[in-house]
């Protein structure tokens, strides 16, 4: 790649003629910057000279574009080898700079998969994270619930094991899942490897949407078993066919040849824009997810959907078919195909059954907008009520709440959640792994977390809250007041929310650092509801972090502390000796 930069000495009267004359007629990416060096817009072009020149012609622009061009003080350009490379670079720059005039989607959540492990008797399990080659993955799915529903269906029909390897190799008798016909008991040899692999093959075909093929295969197996007078096996296969037919009789969105398809559509209403992603996996509608882009004002729905496709699928594998009305972009399709490792088809003009899916996705987006508008109105009312009840200024908008979670002092975790712009800002949440001098010392744990957080706020790394809420009583609020004074942060108002003498929801007390008397609001007070919502979210986030930290500590093997023993060797030792105690009891010769 090569880069061409142009800087104007007078940003108010940016003259692009010299820059345009120097640009090549080649593909690349351009960045519009203002006088402060902030990126206003990132775009890609098949012909850099023509595309950049179009912004500075005397023809009338859309109001949004005209406003952006008026702020341009510099244009940076990067020449690329192809349009596909330009598209990838554009996406990376948008993610990095979050430009004000680009439509930006934020989706930090990883998507879950259904996994069949690559063992002799494959395990059926939930997976989130990096995809390892030895295993087979199906997805991604829109939610963990969709994956678990899929696992439950496969257990009912194909009875594949879900137990962990450490459990599988050490069982001496089948577990409860075998008793309720959700597993065939491979752990204790109740099914032959070949027969189990047949179940795995059928489950794979089912997940690929080839239900009819599975039924035909099972029918042949049943007939063969009956002909061989293996009536017990024939009866088991018959039961599988019956269960599968019941599943098939439920509402399926796609025909039997559907495979994996994503449907993407957008809607706009009252200044809000939403993009709905409908996921079809193996012919089944497994759910949807709605996204609310930033900086989408004045952008057309087609532009918004195109931005979503680029930003969403360049971060994760795309299915073979994406239905997005009006998006006819061969370059994007080629790049997605290369990224995903298989051909990706963009369907820009859906008809028939697929037209119904687009309509469904649009309706989902419209419903999400109406729900968000209603929620915003409710939160606005709640915030106003809280401001009035506490005597706060209307300028109080940003609220931070802290909570601490631990089990008898073990694995203490403090949480910080943020409410701002009438919504919980999940991307700004923070957790603190704290180590108080004395186990179970909530005050010391809170002090450590607050000190770390406030120090970074004072240093300008985070915006200061207008209101700081502590989940706790007078003691916790006193600790917080001391930390704020020590760090010199005097702008934030401080309160605590305690459960009250009877510790019942609705009877909470609001604690002030400079008042002896607590404030009790009515149980139906909107301001109290907002505080409860924020407090409960801080509690949830702290418990989630604590459980993860505690679980990791309790499952960490002492073998991990021995140098030279990697993950594979560790698992092999545990499997061979039946657990850590077996390894500890083994002689040097046995270990060798």
Q: Is the pTM of this model over 0.85?
A: no
How does DSSP assign 82-140, residue by residue? SHHHHHHHHHHHHHHH--TTS-B----PPPEEEEE-SSSSPPEEEEESPPPTTSEEE--
Hey, is 509 helix, strand or coil?
strand
What are the structure tokens assigned to 424, written together? 């919980």
Lowest mean pLDDT among 196-200, 230-234, 268-272: 230-234
Q: How confident is the model at residue 563 (pLDDT cuts 50, 70, 90)?
A: low
Nearest residue to 160 via CA among 140, 188, 186: 186
- Rounded to 10 deg, the angle between the 193-207 and 211-227 helix axes is 150
CA distance 460 to 475: 28
The mean predicted confidence, pLDDT, of the chain is: 84
Question: How many other C-beta atoms can be found within 10 angstroms of the C-beta atom of residue 339?
Answer: 17
Domain 261-369 sits in CATH 3.30.420.10: yes
- CATH of span 399-553: 3.30.420.340
Spatial CB neighbours of 14, under 8 Å, sequence gap ≥ 6: 8, 72, 73, 74
Per-residue pLDDT tens over the stretch 198-224: 889 888 888 877 777 778 878 887 887
- CATH of span 2-97: 3.40.1440.10
What are the sequence ranges of the domains in the chain?
Answer: 2-97, 114-249, 261-369, 399-553, 558-591
Number of H helices, E strands in the chain: 19, 19
**pLDDT at residue number 477:** 94
CB 124 within 8 A of CB 97: no
Tell me how far CA of residue 499 lies from CA of 278, 405, 531, in angstroms.
42, 16, 12
CB 345 within 8 A of CB 321: yes
CB 272 within 8 A of CB 291: no
CA distance 431 to 313: 29
Per-residue pLDDT tens over the stretch 11-41: 445 777 888 888 889 999 999 999 888 999 9
Burial profile 286-301: b = 16 or more Cβ within 10 angstroms, e = fewer? bbbbbbbbebbeebeb
Hey, is 22 helix, strand or coil?
helix
Per-residue pLDDT tens over the stretch 464-516: 999 999 999 999 999 999 999 999 888 789 999 998 666 666 688 999 998 88
Spatial CB neighbours of 501, under 8 Å, sequence gap ≥ 6: 507
CA distance 7 to 44: 20
**pLDDT at residue number 585:** 72
């Amino acid at each position: 790649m090569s880069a061409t930069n142009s800087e104007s000495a007078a940003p108010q009267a940016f003259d692009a003629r010299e820059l345009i004359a120097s640009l090549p007629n080649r593909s690349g990416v351009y960045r519009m910057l203002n006088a402060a060096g902030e990126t206003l817009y990132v775009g890609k072009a098949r012909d850099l000279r023509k595309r950049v020149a179009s912004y500075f012609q005397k023809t009338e622009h859309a109001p949004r574009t005209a406003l952006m061009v008026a702020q341009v003080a510099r244009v940076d350009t990067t020449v690329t080898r192809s349009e596909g490379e330009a598209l990838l670079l554009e996406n990376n720059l948008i993610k990095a700079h979050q430009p004000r005039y680009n439509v930006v989607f934020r989706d930090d959540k990883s998507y879950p998969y259904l996994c069949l492990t690559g063992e002799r008797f494959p395990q059926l399990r939930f997976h989130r994270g990096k995809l390892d080659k030895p295993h087979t993955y199906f997805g991604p799915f829109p939610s963990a619930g969709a994956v678990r529903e899929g696992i439950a269906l496969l257990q009912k029909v194909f009875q594949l094991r879900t137990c962990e390897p450490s459990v599988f190799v050490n069982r001496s008798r089948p577990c409860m899942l075998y008793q309720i016909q959700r597993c065939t008991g491979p752990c204790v040899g109740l099914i032959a490897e070949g027969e189990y692999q047949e179940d795995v093959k059928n489950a794979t075909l089912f997940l690929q949407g080839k239900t009819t093929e599975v039924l035909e295969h099972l029918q042949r197996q049943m007939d063969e078993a009956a002909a061989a007078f293996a009536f017990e096996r024939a009866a088991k296969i018959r039961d599988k066919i019956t269960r599968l037919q019941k599943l098939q009789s439920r509402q399926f969105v796609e025909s039997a040849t559907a495979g994996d398809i994503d449907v993407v559509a957008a809607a706009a209403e009252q200044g809000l824009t939403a993009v709905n992603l409908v996921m079809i996996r193996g012919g089944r509608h497994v759910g949807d997810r709605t996204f609310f882009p930033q900086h989408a004002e004045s952008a057309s729905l087609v532009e918004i959907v195109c931005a979503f496709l680029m930003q969403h699928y360049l971060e994760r594998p795309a299915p073979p078919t994406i239905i997005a009305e009006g998006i006819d972009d061969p370059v994007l399709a080629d790049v997605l195909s290369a990224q995903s490792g298989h051909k990706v088809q963009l369907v820009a003009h859906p008809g028939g059954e697929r037209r119904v899916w687009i309509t469904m996705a649009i309706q989902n987006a419209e419903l999400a907008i109406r729900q968000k508008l209603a929620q915003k109105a409710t939160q606005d009312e709640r915030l106003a009520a809280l401001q009035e009840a506490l005597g706060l200024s209307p300028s109080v908008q940003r609220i931070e709440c802290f909570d601490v979670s631990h089990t008898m002092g073990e694995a203490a975790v403090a949480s910080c959640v943020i409410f701002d712009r009438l919504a919980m800002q999940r991307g700004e949440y923070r957790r603190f792994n704290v180590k108080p001098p004395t186990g179970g010392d909530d005050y010391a744990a809170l002090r450590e977390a607050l000190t770390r957080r406030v120090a970074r706020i004072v240093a300008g790394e985070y915006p200061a809250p207008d209101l700081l809420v502590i989940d706790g009583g007078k003691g916790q609020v006193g600790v917080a007041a001391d930390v704020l004074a020590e760090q010199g942060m005097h702008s934030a108002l401080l309160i605590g929310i305690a459960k009250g003498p009877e510790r019942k929801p609705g009877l909470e007390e609001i604690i002030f650092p400079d008042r002896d008397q607590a404030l009790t609001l009515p149980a139906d007070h909107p301001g109290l509801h907002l505080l409860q919502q924020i407090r409960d979210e801080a509690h949830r986030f702290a418990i989630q972090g604590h459980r993860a930290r505690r679980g990791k500590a309790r499952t960490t093997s002492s073998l991990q502390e021995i140098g030279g023993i990697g993950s594979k060797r560790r698992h092999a030792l545990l499997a061979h000796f039946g657990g850590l105690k077996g390894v500890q009891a083994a002689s040097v010769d046995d270990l060798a």
